[in-house]
Amino acid sequence: MNQRSTSDCTTHRLLGRAAVLAMDAIVIQDTEGIILTLNDSACRLYGYSEQEAVGMPFDNLLSSQHRQQWQQIRDSLHVNHMAGPILDSRIRRDGTHIQVRVTATLIPAQGDDPSVVCTIERSDAAQTGSQQALDAARAGLAQSQADLDDFAYVASHDLRAPLRGIRNLSQWITEDAAGVLPEQSARHLDQLIGRIDRMERLLDDLLQFSRAGRERHPVEIVDVNDMITEVLSLIDRPEGMTLEIPDNMPALRTGRVPLQQVWMNLISNAVKHHDHNDGRIMITWRPAQAASNRYVEFAVADDGPGVEPRYREKIFQMFQTLRPRDQVEGSGMGLAIVRRLVQGRGGKLWYEPAHPRGSVFRFTWPWDTAKTHQTEVIAHAVENRTSTVD
């Protein structure tokens, strides 16, 4: 005998308990249709207390035209033992009608116990309820996202004022005390001003990050080749560094500014983090591989040092840099901003190692931003959010 098997008595107790806790309404009636017992969900669904319901005819839950039908179902159970699922309606205690899906089973007589009919009933309204809860949660998520954007905006804007004061004061000290200060203090003042510059950049980027979520841009036809040429003219790069771009780059219907920000960040990252002056940066594209053909996939590849596996998720987080800030200019917001811009249009941004060395940053962008459905954007944002949580 299996040591783990429980006694029949325990099994019945556990199953009984489970039935009480079940989400579906469970009603047990005798073969005459008198309710013997019911679980909490049934009480809630029909609006009766347990005391009221026990001993009450099941017919009280039925409209007159359904009573005959139910007698037939009860009778048929003696032959088939099971019926359903049937779409049926019930009358609640307050007189309202609800739709339910019902399965009915006959539990045969055993010893002194007569046979009983068990119905398991699920209300469509309960499903509607959970849909409402989902909608509410979604609205809540959108709201907290908006609050976060507002917070970032206010913080970056309001922190600027005292910082401006600090900058002025340190400049004035430099001006007024230039000849008087010990060499060390003069150097400290320089460093102080350097830190203020850095803080201002952080605030700028924070502001940009919050705008990446808030701002809507007019949609126009954008020739990606022209856009990248323009971006390149704005980026300082070593003379030996080459950029390869296919001559069949597509044109998209999209807001110009956000896409330009994406290219700007990805290309300047590739330049900034390259360890050779004669590095290569390669841009490619293809229709997105995902089920949806509404997206195009771009890639910015380089033959630089690449990103170690353990940092490959971290680089997309806010304020993350992998090198000391005194060596590489940057707030660590670039990829966080890019990811936000891309996700805001239902796209994705991810990292792949290049072979034999280097990094590939791939992102998808809609062919036509105006046709991107909001639900898709939300779905992707939720999916990406869960995947980036530590």
Partner 1 sequence: MQSKTVQVLLIEDDEVDAEGVRRAFDKKHIANPLMVVQDGVEALAVLRGEQGFQKLHRPFMILLDLNLPRMNGIEFLQQLRADANLKDSIVFVLTTSADTEDKKAAYDYNVAGYLVKANVGEEFLSVTELLDCFWRLVEFP
Which residues are near partner 1 by CB under 8 A?
160-161, 164-165, 167-169, 171-172
- For residue 39, the minimal CB distance to partner 1 (Å) is 59
Instruction: Please answer whether residues 284 and 225 qualify as being in contact, where contact means their C-beta atoms are separated by less than 8 angstroms.
Output: no
**d(Cα 132, Cα 146) in Å, to the nearest integer?**
21
Element at 245 (helix H, strand E): none
Residue 382: count other Cβ atoms within 10 Å of its Cβ.
12
Nearest distance from C-beta of residue 189 to partner 1, angstroms: 15
**Residue with smaller CB distance to partner 1, 196 or 257:** 196
List CB contacts of 381: < 8 A, sequence separation 6 or more: 343, 344
With respect to partner 1, which residue has the nearer C-beta, 79 or 161? Answer: 161
Rounded to the nearest whole angstrom, what is the least distance from the CB of residue 163 to partner 1 in the complex? 10
Closest by alpha carbon to 39, among 134, 100, 102, 119?
Answer: 119
213 Cβ contact list (under 8 Å, min separation 6)? 145, 149, 340, 344
Task: Name the residue nearer to partner 1 (CB basis): 138 or 217.
Answer: 217
Long-range contacts of 352-359 (CB under 8 A, 24+ apart): 353/306, 353/307, 353/309, 354/301, 354/302, 354/303, 354/306, 357/303, 357/304, 357/305, 357/306, 358/301, 358/302, 358/303, 358/304, 358/305, 358/306, 359/270, 359/301, 359/302, 359/304, 359/306, 359/307
* 159 vs 377 by CB, closer to partner 1: 159
Q: Smallest distance, Å, CB 332 to partner 1?
A: 24
How is 72-128 classified by DSSP, letter by letter? Answer: HHHHHHHHHSEEEEEEEEEE-TTS-EEEEEEEEEEE--BTTBPPEEEEEEEEHHHHH
| Closer to partner 1 by Cβ: residue 159 or 219 | 159
